Structure 1
Amino acid sequence: MRYSPTTMIDISQIKAISLDLDDTLWPVWPTIHRAEAVLTAWLTVHAPSTAALSADAELKKAVRAEINARHADRAHDLSFLRLQSIRALLQQAGDPVHLAEPAFEAFFAERQRVDLFDDALPALRFWSQRYPVVALTNGNADVHRVGIGQHFHASVSAKSLGVAKPDLRIFLAGAEAAGVAPHEVLHIGDDAHADCVGALAAGMQVAWLNREGHEWLGSDTRPHLEVRDLHTLCACWPEYVL
């Protein structure tokens, strides 16, 4: 059975917004696939042996798994893990390992080129005129390089903090960055576990952005509101005009 919200957010209590990025403001996998294609093109020119090695999907998967296992303490730092994977492939292919940094930068620059959902900018403009908006992300997107930094008061990432959502500390850090108490924050995100369960545990109001219509499979403690798009969420404010 689909979860229908039984509670609503209390607008009067909100003094800040915390916001997930990937799959909340833009679809992440098309972005990652493009970035990986750019990385492959870069390697083809500068490290062709590594590019050829990378064409073996199973081998590349195994290298990433080995890097992830070796650096389990850095699971929150996706940039570090990606860089180490590139370095390992270069070494295995016999190409100069110093190429890892520029290769990663080619990937990372493309990773910042995102296609925003149609509702993302209107919602950001609306909220940032009323509240401090803080990005809370487990990924490695940079709101300034993406081109939406003007709408954010601060950004807290798993990499910068050393822990990833749903860890309570990243939500508390978001509230602190906004200069408010956790219960005065409305957190918005697409991931039922990382975003919703974590923010609820931190004492925040939570809006689950469920674009795909998934069933709620989390704990008995449910988000205050479930919406299919950000326009619907913004409509909770009487002054919002699309």
Structure 2
Amino acid sequence: MSLDLSRIRAITLDLDDTLWPIWPTIARAEVVLQNWLGAHAPATQALCQQPGVLRAIREQVHHECPDLLHDMSALRRESIRRALLRAGDDPALAQDAFEAFFAERQRVELFADALPALEYLSSRFPVVALSNGNADVQRVGLGRYFYASVSAREVGVAKPDVRIFQRGAQAAGVPAQQVLHIGDDAHLDGVGGLQAGMQVAWLNRAGHDWAHAPHAPHLTVADLGALCACLAKDG
């Protein structure tokens, strides 16, 4: 299977671990949250520092609130609320605590190839952000590169469900068959995009083996620069 450049009329693009590394971002946001709790709800901060407590709360929320499973912000907010309750602090503080976390979560450090790729892709195609997470391309500072943004929260399903890919194609105004989806996760982005009828470019920065036969991406690249070079071949 090879990439058919003539078919591409739009791009859907994953965000976390495609344009920036997600875990350093989350780690910084977690520190900001704990510092906020220390200033406004010290009993909750102390509770959260106990081994296993946060994981147990999050697992409980996942189990008891299946309607929130595709809304990372709602899950985080509810976990904070329950931690506040358990520690005896005011649960109404959950919103402000979440906002402290969320603001830091939007302070991403882009991969070196991200901005040049966004500039190139957005100059040639409508680019639609397609994410299971809760990054906001406007707050991140990349809104000018995106024609639209589609999240699992608003669709109610997450990648690899074909419906979120279909929504992305609709946002771009083209059939799924005319979309190139770009993402780093072989299963969520790769298999999901293929099953939705899109062409897929797998961003494989770490050099992993593809483990999802009989599915296969149309293109595998080690960085976004290589992807743009391939797309430039059609002039």
> Match for residue 53 of structure 1?
47
Letter in 2 for 1:214: H
How many angstroms apart in 1 are the aligned matches of 2:168 and 2:231?
A: 22
> Match for residue 3 of structure 1?
none
The alignment status of 1:199 with 2:188, answered yes or no, reads no
> Match for residue 21 of structure 1?
15
> Match for residue 31 of structure 1?
25
Residue by residue, what CA displacement relative to the aligned partner does 1:185-215 show, whole Å, maximum 9, x if unpaired? 0000001111011110111010000111111
Whether the 8 Å CA contact 1:206–1:223 is kept in 2: the answer is yes
Letter in 2 for 1:152: F
The alignment status of 1:97 with 2:85, answered yes or no, reads no
How many angstroms apart in 2 are the aligned matches of 1:224 and 1:144?
A: 30
Stretch of structure 1 that moved more, 215-224 or 88-97: 215-224
> Match for residue 132 of structure 2?
138
Query: How many residue pairs are counted as aligned between the two chains?
Result: 235
Stretch of structure 1 that moved more, 46-55 or 229-238: 229-238
How many angstroms apart in 2 are the aligned matches of 1:120 and 1:180?
A: 24
How many angstroms apart in 1 are the aligned matches of 2:2 and 2:233?
A: 17
How many angstroms apart in 2 are the aligned matches of 1:97 and 1:129?
A: 46
> Match for residue 4 of structure 1?
none
Whether the 8 Å CA contact 1:199–1:206 is kept in 2: the answer is yes
How many angstroms apart in 1 are the aligned matches of 2:231 and 2:61?
A: 46
Structure 2: stretches of 5+ with no match in the other structure: none
> Match for residue 155 of structure 1?
149
> Match for residue 85 of structure 1?
79
SS at 1:37 equivalent: helix
How many angstroms apart in 2 are the aligned matches of 1:202 and 1:135?
A: 16
> Match for residue 187 of structure 1?
181
* TM-score normalised by length of structure 2: 0.98
Residue by residue, what CA displacement relative to the aligned partner does 1:61-115 show, whole Å, maximum 9, x if unpaired? 1111111111123211111110000000000000001100000000000000000
Residue by residue, what CA displacement relative to the aligned partner does 1:33-66 show, whole Å, maximum 9, x if unpaired? 0000000000000000000101113111111111
Deviation at 1:11, TM superposition (A): 1.4
How many angstroms apart in 2 are the aligned matches of 1:17 and 1:45?
A: 44
How many angstroms apart in 1 are the aligned matches of 2:176 and 2:213?
A: 20
How many angstroms apart in 1 are the aligned matches of 2:154 and 2:105?
A: 18
The alignment status of 1:169 with 2:163, answered yes or no, reads yes
How many angstroms apart in 2 are the aligned matches of 1:57 and 1:171?
A: 38
User: Larger % of helix: which?
Assistant: 2
SS at 1:87 equivalent: helix
Whether the 8 Å CA contact 1:212–1:228 is kept in 2: the answer is yes
Percent of aligned positions that are identical: 61
How many angstroms apart in 2 are the aligned matches of 1:225 and 1:149?
A: 26
Letter in 2 for 1:156: V
> Match for residue 110 of structure 2?
116
SS at 1:186 equivalent: strand
Letter in 1 for 2:194: L
Letter in 2 for 1:115: E
How many angstroms apart in 1 are the aligned matches of 2:54 and 2:231?
A: 48
Residue by residue, what CA displacement relative to the aligned partner does 1:121-149 show, whole Å, maximum 9, x if unpaired? 00000010111000000000000000000
* TM-score normalised by length of structure 1: 0.95
Letter in 2 for 1:64: R
